Structure 1
């Protein structure tokens, strides 16, 4: 469930390493993948701030007011890097993280750790609560676009499919996303990963349209992959 757990996990990392969470992310994740365009909010790097999507002219300090909605006081009061606040990063760099996990290339994690991430880690008790959440009025946020009838569990990074979905996710696909922003997936069976990002300006946005856009992206990637494979066979 959503909580301050990621914030506290980041503080544990800072206590262990003696540095900031941002420094650790740069050293352990970004540097191995050649990424130099990531920073926790508020974005203060002068080379990055001009690249922010400008959704709110009333937010000249880039405190992500358009993303969090309403007041940006939570960002102004924050001191330091918080894992739960998220990280500014272009999609073209974000997908490098997904691809590293898809390829299981050892740059970020040991191969065995990556394999463990994609396993269903719910036991009988936690699975019952998870399935109830999926079927609840808030279930759309737990299913991440996956039909309620499809068997799913939960890995160490998101929802994991436990069966093939015809023309779409293969068994063992891990996916997660944000209700107002992005959706990502890593399908190791079909050798495909991707991220689709939508930047809706709060409070005037159509949630159904945003959800449909994300699903159009995810499914279209499979149509394009199938067309590419057919072209390769023909040539």
Structure 2
């Protein structure tokens, strides 16, 4: 499967940064972020079915490995709690961070050595660097101002400690901002879809829309956008 991804994207002639970002965009379009397994106490045995940050990071690390790109697990903070997993890569002796698992379409690499800002799907991302930390901010047309997404320490835990955190990540799920209601997000075409509880938010460069859904409509939408989760339809949101 991963070899097929490499061939379909025809990325061998791209620079390393462009190659990673091409793979990253494809990941956002084909593998959703969601907390459905977490909410239903289901062990995710297929990373291609998506999941929370740890599932997404482990899968994408494998894709990078398959494309001869070495990456390392990196731990970061959300709301002051060290509960978020990312990846880091070294390109031309400089470090970049990859956020494949936050639920938002962070389709660009975040350099450790300079601040950046970019927009996509009608939303904005930017970083600020302060000593040994990188602050990642996010703004949508529904919020109108930047909100702090996470804090990325330049020095992270060891790979072994992060893997242990991943193994024990749901021992106390209350530390996650999505522990009490459904989350699901995916990119389709030029549109980013985001479900939070009973609300679906639709983002694009053309505008922003928000609708309320009942439980059956939420499940129907998820199955429509990613039908591989249909096998769990009898228990998801149950």
Question: Greater CA radius of gyration, 1 or 2?
Answer: 1
Q: Do they superpose with TM above 0.5?
A: no
More strand by proportion, 1 or 2? 2
